[in-house]
Structure 1
Amino acid sequence: MMPSLFIAHGAPLIAIENNEYTKYLNQLGQDLPRPKAVVLFSAHWESKVQQVSRVHEYNTIYDFGGFDPQLYTIQYPARGDHDISKEIEDLFTENGIAFENDTSRGLDHGAWVVLRLLYPNADVPVIAMSVNPKLTTEEQYNIGKSLSELREKDILVIASGGTVHNLRALKWADNGQVDSWALEFDDWLAKKLENWNVESLFNYDSLAPHAALAVPPYGNEHFIPIFYAMGAAANNPRATLLHRSFRYGNLSHSVWQFG
């Protein structure tokens, strides 16, 4: 059975960097069983109603500015799979989850940066999925849970975001030091995930140390994809931290495997 994964996509620069984290993701793509397709929830696609892509071939979205010009030349022409999109829609219908089809949107950098590091040849079909930060954490978990049987069919569920993601707190002159508040929040999160303590996790904003710094009130879209990934493995509740590192003082580069 395929696991589900939560993968931090960091800053867009990891698309052209060669460092500890990019090397890890390159290797992870080789170590994982080859998936039939990837279903990917991206922090950079927000919607009030769950979106399910039905795209034949994706264009590449450069949803960032002010970075190295090389980033804007990268293409990741992954293809979709309408049969798997239909299967997702059927599962949502069975589980009472409202959804809409999207037939035109490309892959944002939360999707293509991660996918390109895992599968550089763009030869694995992709079904892009939105996230909804306005839902409760339990509702986000249940959306993922409704897709858990896909893992039995060699389909890899990935949620792309970041456990600690506060752009206003970043230290771009990176000296390798990690802020204590970021470590304390991430350590709390790791303990709750490894114990599959969903009650605490669903209430992370009031229970976790430094939650307002790690997941700032002005935006939780990067954190909440972890609930989609976790829910997708609810039928095999096991969490394993595969990688953790930090950049710019507090930006987390973490990879969690569920199931």
Structure 2
Amino acid sequence: MMLINPSADIPIIQVSILKNQNTKQHLNIGKVLYQFRKDGVAIFGSGMSYHNMVEFRKSEKVNDGVVVDEIFDSFLNEVLTGDVDAKKEILYWDKVPPGLDSHPPGEADHLMPLIVNIGAGGSSPGRNIFSSVYMHKFILSGFIWDKE
């Protein structure tokens, strides 16, 4: 946060994700935080749209140029930049065929902050503000909700 506000004159409160990685509960946390957002409080979530440590380690040894998470990244983009009904599809991220490849069971802790932010975004669609291919193999995307 020092890069965003070097004077550090804005209070910051850290909220942890739940250990259970329950998508609906994280979405509901975001909906509660939305009330603060309406009062001008910024909500930040960190994590990654892809986080499979086994694949990261493999790619250090083998660089075949195959991007492994294009389908899941497309799913995220459709859901997060869509309307309210589209955003509900995030509850089923693990049912999308490459969902569990992108975030293996028990390792979705890098996806949960994004789900909190979806709830904090209210009814407005998000915008993709960052998309990059990491190590020639993994698409990493970032989103913002700056309307409403």
Give TM class, smaller chain: 0.7 to 0.9
| Aligned with 2:104 (options 202, 210, 216) | 216
1:186 aligns with 2:73: yes
Amino acid at match of 2:101: L
Distance in 2, matches of 1:120 and 1:184, equals: 38
| Superposed CA RMSD | 2.4
Q: Give percent identity, aligned residues only.
A: 24
Matches within 5 A, 1:193-208: 193-196=80-83, 197-206=86-95, 208=96
Deviations 1:94-145 (Å, cap 9, x if unpaired)? xxxxxxxxxxxxxxxxxxxxx2443345443210111014153121111111
Aligned partners of 1:163 and 1:186 also within 8 Å: yes
Determine which structure has the larger strand proportion and give its number: 1
Q: In the comparison of the two structures, how many residue pairs are matched?
A: 141
Q: Where do 5+ consecutive residues of structure 1 fail to align?
A: 1-114
Aligned partners of 2:21 and 2:112 also within 8 Å: no
How many Å apart are 1:181 and its aligned residue? 2.6
How many Å apart are 1:172 and its aligned residue? 3.7
Deviations 1:54-111 (Å, cap 9, x if unpaired)? xxxxxxxxxxxxxxxxxxxxxxxxxxxxxxxxxxxxxxxxxxxxxxxxxxxxxxxxxx
Aligned partners of 1:182 and 1:214 also within 8 Å: yes
Aligned partners of 1:165 and 1:214 also within 8 Å: yes
Quote the residue 2:142 is aligned against: 255
Determine which structure has the larger helix proportion and give its number: 2
Aligned partners of 2:52 and 2:104 also within 8 Å: yes
Check 1:144–1:218 CA distance in 2 against 1; reply closer, same or farther (3 A cut). Answer: closer
Distance in 1, matches of 2:12 and 2:61, equals: 35
1:168 aligns with 2:54: yes
Quote the residue 1:22 is aligned against: none
Distance in 1, matches of 2:81 and 2:102, equals: 19
Check 1:255–1:120 CA distance in 2 against 1; reply closer, same or farther (3 A cut). Answer: farther
Helix, strand or coil at the partner of 1:203: helix
Helix, strand or coil at the partner of 1:244: strand
Using the size of structure 1 for normalisation, the TM-score is: 0.49
Structure ID, larger Rg: 1
Amino acid at match of 2:134: R
Using the size of structure 2 for normalisation, the TM-score is: 0.81
The higher-RCO structure (CA 8 Å, 6+ apart) is 2
